[in-house]
């Protein structure tokens, strides 16, 4: 057996590297990865060279240190099994299924404090959605939807779909989603949206109650498309004193915002939401463990593994990223199945 891992060498270029099997230190375990998931948002910024200058890779994840530079190993969603333990680690970890915030690789060593045991009632593919579900939970905590509100979710990628699935469990007046790709619109309806509209249709904003210069009818709008231009759409759909929660990370992408029409007089609130932290006003009652425990529970309710559209071997990574980059309408969640290499 050899260690295999992905490396982004430059924009648009990713390759599988091969090396010796790592050996766990006394306080570490060795994990064999079963699956890892591609983040179609953040990870594609790496692939496309759209990471902003000077921004750390991820200060909250030990496996992603330092500032951004090519070549880079990236990824933060791996599910596998502990196959060896260091001398100081309890033997109870041996054979345990675990989730880890680790880059794409078939074998890795880490401390057990960075691992999340996968609940027995969840399969590996469902567990892959843990970071996305935790993000969706955080989005609801930041948006604080209220009974009887009209809510719109712009963007029905993985994060948008899971956010829709959670919002559909609230007693809202309406839940409308916005998505240009038919595959994702169909998934959105299955996950509980009252309607999913195509932003390519003429006057779709007017169809949702938006009036130029006067705002819309939504109390709460989530912008989750990853497209900075969509933030103007979110603003156009929001009513007086409404909230827009920005869950997208745009990286180096930019767009001019229309803050000179309704936004100023409409007292619209823009709320930044990012899963690496909890909103300060919640930290008296919420912490990361409580949020993560809730994310596991929501995975058991939603069971999103049906929305894995493609599985690739790690050696076929170039094809996987090219598919997401050039044919996003065909994809929802793309994963690496590390067992495919064993079958070849």
> Per the domain annotation, does 298 fall within a domain?
no
Q: How high does pLDDT run on average in the chain?
A: 93
Ramachandran class of 31: left when φ > 0, alpha when ψ lies in -120 to 50, beta otherwise: beta
Q: In this structure, are residues 280 and 253 in contact, taking their beta carbons and an 8 Å threshold?
A: no
Separation between Cα atoms, residue 16 and residue 287, nearest integer Å: 37
Q: Percentage of residues in the chain with pLDDT exceeding 70?
A: 97
Q: What is the CATH number of the domain that holds 52?
A: 3.90.180.10
Looking at the structure, tell me whether residues 139 and 223 fall in a common domain.
yes
Looking at the structure, tell me whether residues 336 and 261 fall in a common domain.
no
Predicted confidence (pLDDT) per residue in 290-336, tens digit: 999 999 999 999 999 999 999 999 999 999 999 999 999 999 999 99
Query: And the tokens for 320?
Result: 């996987």
Q: In this structure, are residues 79 and 118 in contact, taking their beta carbons and an 8 Å threshold?
A: yes
Separation between Cα atoms, residue 167 and residue 136, nearest integer Å: 9
Which residue, among 226, 225, 222, has the nearest Cα to 242 in the 3D structure?
222
> Per the domain annotation, does 289 fall within a domain?
no
> Per the domain annotation, does 50 fall within a domain?
yes
Looking at the structure, tell me whether residues 234 and 206 fall in a common domain.
yes
Q: What is the reported pLDDT for 201?
A: 86
> Per the domain annotation, does 287 fall within a domain?
no
Give the end of a domain, one of 280, 296, 323. Answer: 280
Looking at the structure, tell me whether residues 20 and 149 fall in a common domain.
no
Looking at the structure, tell me whether residues 19 and 42 fall in a common domain.
yes
Q: What is the reported pLDDT for 16?
A: 95
Looking at the structure, tell me whether residues 177 and 272 fall in a common domain.
yes
DSSP string, 166-215: HHTTS--SEEEEE-S-HHHHHHHHHTT-SEEE-TTSTTHHHHTT-BTTTB
Structural domain boundaries, residue 177:
131-280
Looking at the structure, tell me whether residues 209 and 257 fall in a common domain.
yes
Looking at the structure, tell me whether residues 237 and 268 fall in a common domain.
yes
Angle ∠(68,250,66) on CA atoms, nearest 5: 15
Whole-prediction pTM value? 0.94
Provide the pLDDT confidence category of residue 90 given band limits of 50, 70 and 90. very high
Give strand pairing partners of 117.
Answer: 98
> Per the domain annotation, does 299 fall within a domain?
no
Q: What is the reported pLDDT for 65?
A: 66
> Per the domain annotation, does 293 fall within a domain?
no
- Cβ burial, residue 300 (10 Å; 0-12/13-18/19+): exposed
Q: What is the CATH number of the domain that holds 242?
A: 3.40.50.720
Greatest CA span in the chain, whole angstroms? 66
Which residue, among 105, 46, 54, 55, has the nearest Cα to 274 in the 3D structure?
55
Provide the pLDDT confidence category of residue 343 given band limits of 50, 70 and 90. low
Predicted confidence (pLDDT) per residue in 35-82, tens digit: 999 998 889 999 999 887 777 766 566 767 677 788 889 999 999 999
Looking at the structure, tell me whether residues 248 and 186 fall in a common domain.
yes
Provide the pLDDT confidence category of residue 11 given band limits of 50, 70 and 90. very high
- Cβ burial, residue 292 (10 Å; 0-12/13-18/19+): middle
Query: And the tokens for 329?
Result: 């309408």
E strand intervals along the chain: 3-10, 13-19, 28-37, 78-85, 97-100, 107-111, 115-117, 150-154, 174-178, 195-197, 218-223, 238-246, 269-272, 308-312, 333-337
Structural domains counted in the chain: 2
Q: Helix, strand, coil: what percent of the chain each, to 5?
A: 30, 25, 40
Separation between Cα atoms, residue 96 and residue 279, nearest integer Å: 33
Looking at the structure, tell me whether residues 244 and 219 fall in a common domain.
yes
Separation between Cα atoms, residue 316 and residue 134, nearest integer Å: 28
Looking at the structure, tell me whether residues 139 and 256 fall in a common domain.
yes
CA 337, 307, 169, 196 torsion: positive or negative? positive
Query: And the tokens for 140?
Result: 């609801």
Looking at the structure, tell me whether residues 19 and 93 fall in a common domain.
yes
Strands 78-85 and 97-100, by their bridges, are antiparallel
Q: In this structure, are residues 235 and 244 in contact, taking their beta carbons and an 8 Å threshold?
A: yes
> Per the domain annotation, does 297 fall within a domain?
no
> Per the domain annotation, does 123 fall within a domain?
no
């Amino acid at each position: 057996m050899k260690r295999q891992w992905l490396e982004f060498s430059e924009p648009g270029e990713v390759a599988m590297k091969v090396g010796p099997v790592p050996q766990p230190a006394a306080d570490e375990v060795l994990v064999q990865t079963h699956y890892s998931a591609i983040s179609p948002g953040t990870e594609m910024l790496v692939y496309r060279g759209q990471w902003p200058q000077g921004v750390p890779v991820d200060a909250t994840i030990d496996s992603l240190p330092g500032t951004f530079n090519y070549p880079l190993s990236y990824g933060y969603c791996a599910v596998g099994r502990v196959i060896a333990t260091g001398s100081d680690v309890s033997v109870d970890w041996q054979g345990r299924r675990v989730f880890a915030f680790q880059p794409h690789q078939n074998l890795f060593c880490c401390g057990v404090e960075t691992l999340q045991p996968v609940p027995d009632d969840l399969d590996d593919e469902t567990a892959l959605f843990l970071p996305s579900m935790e993000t969706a939970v955080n989005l609801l905590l930041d948006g604080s939807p209220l009974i009887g509100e009209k809510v719109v979710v712009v963007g029905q990628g993985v994060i948008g779909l899971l956010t829709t699935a959670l919002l559909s469990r609230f007693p809202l007046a309406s839940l409308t989603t916005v998505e240009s790709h038919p595959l994702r619109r169909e998934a959105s309806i299955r996950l509980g949206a009252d309607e999913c509209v195509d932003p390519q249709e003429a006057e779709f904003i007017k169809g949702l109650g938006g009036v130029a210069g006067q705002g819309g009818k939504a109390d709460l709008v989530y912008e989750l498309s990853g497209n900075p231009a969509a933030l103007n759409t979110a603003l156009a759909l929001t009513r007086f004193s409404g909230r827009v929660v920005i869950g997208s990370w745009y990286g180096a992408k930019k767009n001019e915002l229309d803050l000179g029409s309704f936004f100023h007089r409409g007292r619209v609130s823009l709320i930044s939401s990012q899963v690496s932290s909890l909103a300060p006003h919640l930290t008296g009652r919420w912490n990361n463990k409580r949020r993560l425990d809730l994310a596991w529970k929501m995975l058991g309710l939603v069971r999103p593994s049906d929305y894995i559209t493609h599985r690739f071997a790690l050696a076929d990574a170039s094809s996987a990223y090219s598919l997401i980059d050039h044919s996003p309408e065909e994809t929802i969640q793309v994963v690496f199945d590390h067992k495919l290499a064993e079958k070849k």
